[in-house]
Structure 1
Amino acid sequence: MTRSVREVLKEYMSERRVRKYRLVTKDGRCNIEFGNVMHRNRFAYVLDIWTTFVETRWRFVILHFVASFTLSWFIFGLIWYWIARDNGDLEWQNPPKNHTPCVFSVTDLTYAFLFSLETQTTIGYGNVYVTNACTGAVALIIIQSLIGAIINCFWCGVVMTKIALPKKRAKTITFSESAVICPKKGTLCLQIRVANLRKTLMIGSQIYGKLLRTTITPEGETIIMDQVSIDFMVDAGKDNLFFVCPLTLYHVIDKTSPFFDMAVDTLHQQEFELVVFLDGTAESTSSSCQVRTSYIPQEIMWGYDFLPIISRSKEGKYRVDFSNFTKVVSVPTAHCAYCYHNEAGHHHHSITGIDNQGFEVIDIEPPSSTKM
């Protein structure tokens, strides 16, 4: 059934409000701004001009690229025009027939600009050239050639560096849109799925998380964006992951976990943001990169588990089915961590999950065992 315009607008405003209050967006960008920065600190961006241009958006890089070349051509064109005028080479100066110009064919400002462009771009059309009549012209062509080479090297470096930025490699590493909480190997765990979309490995990959929340100390001090470390691991450990196929990362919810005091009916009432980091080195370029994403309480599903996505064909090849990457299935799960560990708490036991709109839930049969 078609949704009304009001429902669509309400959903859009809700998503926009969520994005506004996130510190880290789903694609890893940090939603933060700096205010009241001193002018001398702003001057530091000019001193570190290389990093400034590398971090600038492409639209501004292209704008500065065009402006730098055009401005240099025009400035040197004016100098060439001044040299020609000083030597009496211009048309309106009516030079004699036996006059030797500084630059042959530079008789007005347009030709001076064209000669400047041709000199800096090493274009030669054959009818414009410097003569030996003016020492200043010979010196100027040397200076312009050197400056043009510097400008070319600078912009080639900026473009190549921006293309090869490690964060571009991070675009091919993706996290699941949601996190789930369910039993795993005899304990209650929060699970997240991550996948490397390229066949090249991420060497020395490490995964960790930070729980960001506002806390009030016993002294009454309010700490905004208080950070609590969250440890994630896979079956083989938490360091030097063999990241050749999608991995399911899990955080054990025990007494030391900040999720221990949460329950199925209070999770979505909490105010926190779970930021997950993955650090590694790209095998093909040997460049280090970091991938980030975040989860808010509405994106954590209690009582669900991820569907299996790795299988093995009859030919012995491993196959990854990315259609099940974000799909989940309901599993029996305790109502809270207190219930799961049979400890005294304020919540009752329940074996059903909770509905979370926006995620696809399907039923599957128990997977058959496969011999390796």
Structure 2
Amino acid sequence: MASTGGVTDSNPIRLVSTSGVTNIKGVGISGKRIHFFTDFFTNMIEIKWSWNVVIFIGGFTITWLLFALYYWLVCHLHGDFINYSTNDWNPCITDVKSFASTFLFSIETQTTIGYGSRSVTEECPVVYIGIFIQSIVGAGLQAALAGLVVAKIRRAKKRARTILFSTVACIVEEDGQMKLVIRVGDMRKSFILNVQVKGYFFQKMAAKSGKSYPVKYHPMTFKGEDSSLQIFLAWPTQLVHVIDERSPLWTMSREDLKRYNCELVIILDGTVAATSMPFQAQTSYLPWDILWGHRFDTLGTKVNKSGAYILNFANFHKTHALTTPVCSACDLKKMIDAGLPVPKECPKDSKHSQQPLSADEFEVRFQSADNDAYDQTTPVENINKLGVKFNSSDNSAFCHSTPDMNTRKRASVMASR
């Protein structure tokens, strides 16, 4: 079945990209340019460095030219250019004979260089006014440039790029509850303070053109592996969302999730310990990024000669399949309460399977509220790049990245018996 609208897993339409960029642009706002101009400094901080350089070079150059034109006009009206060679002539500005000379004098005045060959005399008081205004304008431009550079360097936006989110999310069963799990880690050694994570589950509606649009969102609560809202990111950890009555995934089974047109946005807030500046990192997951019946593989950990813990991020995005209920969390609770057997299956394939799969096996069909078909096809080559070999003997293992992994693993094995 062909995908519609040119939207595929390799080029999806997301509210938030996997790199954390928000894909939203507002149009039709009355007086938008005026509102942005009143917040000029914030605009300068948010735009690219290349535009900052162009704007400040243009600002300095324009002021030099304007004041050079002002000095040239004063000298021209005073007759300094005509009487330049006259010995007893008292000019407004010494050693000025052309516009190039006034331009150089303008640069020397604003930058306070003062080479010494050009100076102001008491012949033309109007020149004093130009020098007075230019000195204030030059000081203001230099202060603005220095403040902008400091503000752009100190902002913590770039810090978010060293936060690593797993490329997939997993849905697993633990202690009779279905849970959505995402792995997050920090590449840097410096600590992040006051880390909190929240999620938003966006419901989308597919139009006949094949494009999908968000129509409703549901907040989702994510906690650390210790069920705390404060996340400790000294090492990679897993963010856990319990699928309960308040969760938008409460009534979704594995097949429902495949057909649902949605997007899960994850937002991580924290404070950089080195600068005490708050920052935000975000990513998103589409339905084919959520693996039902998978857990993340354990990260390799060892201690070097100096006594430091060494974490191997090679398995950061890798998962393995587990025997998991295919029903919704709501139906699972009802079956457990009624003492009925719960149907479970172990996924045969996933994004991390090394087995070659046909494109038809990855075709996902969405159904919108108005029953318009919304087709998505996942390219096989992107999936095979994330290959990992599954070990069937480890399917019952509870693979967390925290130091209490062995305790959790034994508990999970005992629960499965």
For normalisation by structure 2, the TM-score amounts to: 0.76
User: Is 1:104–2:94 an aligned residue pair?
Assistant: yes
**1:210-264, Cα deviation, whole Å (9 max, x unpaired):** 101148xxxxxxx943121111112223322222111111111234322232222
Which consecutive unaligned segments of at least 5 residues does structure 1 have? 1-9, 216-222
Q: Residue type matched to 1:232 in 2?
A: F
User: Is 1:35–2:35 an aligned residue pair?
Assistant: no
Give 1:276 deviation, angstroms: 0.7
Aligned to 2:233, what secondary structure does the other structure show?
coil
Distance 1:188 1:360 in 2: 25
Q: Which residue of 1 aligns with 2:44?
A: 53
Q: Which residue of 2 aligns with 1:72?
A: 63
Aligned to 1:74, what secondary structure does the other structure show?
helix
Give 1:352 deviation, angstroms: 1.1
CA RMSD of aligned residues (A): 2.7
Asked if the contact 1:264–1:354 (Cα under 8 Å) also holds between the matched residues in 2, the reply is no
Aligned residues: 348
Give 1:93 deviation, angstroms: 4.9
Distance 1:244 1:23 in 2: 29
Aligned to 1:64, what secondary structure does the other structure show?
helix
The correspondence of residues 257-268 of structure 1 with structure 2, limited to 5 A, is 257-268=247-258
Structure number with greater CO (CA < 8 Å, separation at least 6) is 2
Given the superposition, is the C-alpha separation of residues 240 and 13 from structure 1 closer, same or farther in structure 2, using an over 3 Å criterion? Answer: closer
Given the superposition, is the C-alpha separation of residues 175 and 224 from structure 1 closer, same or farther in structure 2, using an over 3 Å criterion? Answer: closer
Give 1:59 deviation, angstroms: 2.5
The structure 1 residue matched to 2:343, chosen from 329, 349, 366, is: 349
The structure 2 residue matched to 1:325, chosen from 292, 310, 316, is: 316
Aligned to 1:103, what secondary structure does the other structure show?
coil
Give 1:42 deviation, angstroms: 2.8
Asked if the contact 1:189–1:251 (Cα under 8 Å) also holds between the matched residues in 2, the reply is yes
Give 1:17 deviation, angstroms: 4.1
Asked if the contact 2:225–2:237 (Cα under 8 Å) also holds between the matched residues in 1, the reply is no
Give 1:129 deviation, angstroms: 2.0
Given the superposition, is the C-alpha separation of residues 15 and 85 from structure 1 closer, same or farther in structure 2, using an over 3 Å criterion? Answer: farther
Distance 1:244 1:72 in 2: 51
Aligned to 1:266, what secondary structure does the other structure show?
helix
Asked if the contact 1:181–1:189 (Cα under 8 Å) also holds between the matched residues in 2, the reply is yes
Give 1:342 deviation, angstroms: 5.6
Q: Residue type matched to 2:99 in 1?
A: L
The structure 1 residue matched to 2:275, chosen from 258, 277, 285, is: 285
**1:279-319, Cα deviation, whole Å (9 max, x unpaired):** 11111111111111111101111121111115243765322
Asked if the contact 1:211–1:227 (Cα under 8 Å) also holds between the matched residues in 2, the reply is yes
Aligned to 1:54, what secondary structure does the other structure show?
helix
Asked if the contact 1:310–1:318 (Cα under 8 Å) also holds between the matched residues in 2, the reply is no
Asked if the contact 1:253–1:337 (Cα under 8 Å) also holds between the matched residues in 2, the reply is no
**1:119-148, Cα deviation, whole Å (9 max, x unpaired):** 112223232222232222233222211110
The correspondence of residues 174-185 of structure 1 with structure 2, limited to 5 A, is 174-185=164-175
The correspondence of residues 46-195 of structure 1 with structure 2, limited to 5 A, is 46-90=37-81, 92-93=82-83, 96-195=86-185
User: Is 1:300–2:300 an aligned residue pair?
Assistant: no
The 10-residue stretch of structure 1 (132-141 or 167-176) with the greater mean CA deviation from structure 2: 132-141
Q: Which residue of 2 aligns with 1:6?
A: none
Given the superposition, is the C-alpha separation of residues 369 and 298 from structure 1 closer, same or farther in structure 2, using an over 3 Å criterion? Answer: closer
User: Is 1:26–2:18 an aligned residue pair?
Assistant: yes
The correspondence of residues 217-232 of structure 1 with structure 2, limited to 5 A, is 224-232=214-222
Q: Residue type matched to 1:328 in 2?
A: T
Which consecutive unaligned segments of at least 5 residues does structure 2 have? 206-212, 337-341, 352-382, 400-404, 408-417
Percent identity between the two aligned chains = 31
The structure 2 residue matched to 1:249, chosen from 212, 223, 239, is: 239
Give 1:354 deviation, angstroms: 4.9
**1:12-46, Cα deviation, whole Å (9 max, x unpaired):** 9734640xx2111112211112121112x431211
Given the superposition, is the C-alpha separation of residues 185 and 129 from structure 1 closer, same or farther in structure 2, using an over 3 Å criterion? Answer: farther
Given the superposition, is the C-alpha separation of residues 369 and 226 from structure 1 closer, same or farther in structure 2, using an over 3 Å criterion? Answer: closer
Distance 1:335 1:166 in 2: 42
Aligned to 1:275, what secondary structure does the other structure show?
strand
Q: Residue type matched to 1:318 in 2?
A: Y
Aligned to 1:363, what secondary structure does the other structure show?
coil
Q: Residue type matched to 1:356 in 2?
A: S
The 10-residue stretch of structure 1 (246-255 or 181-190) with the greater mean CA deviation from structure 2: 181-190
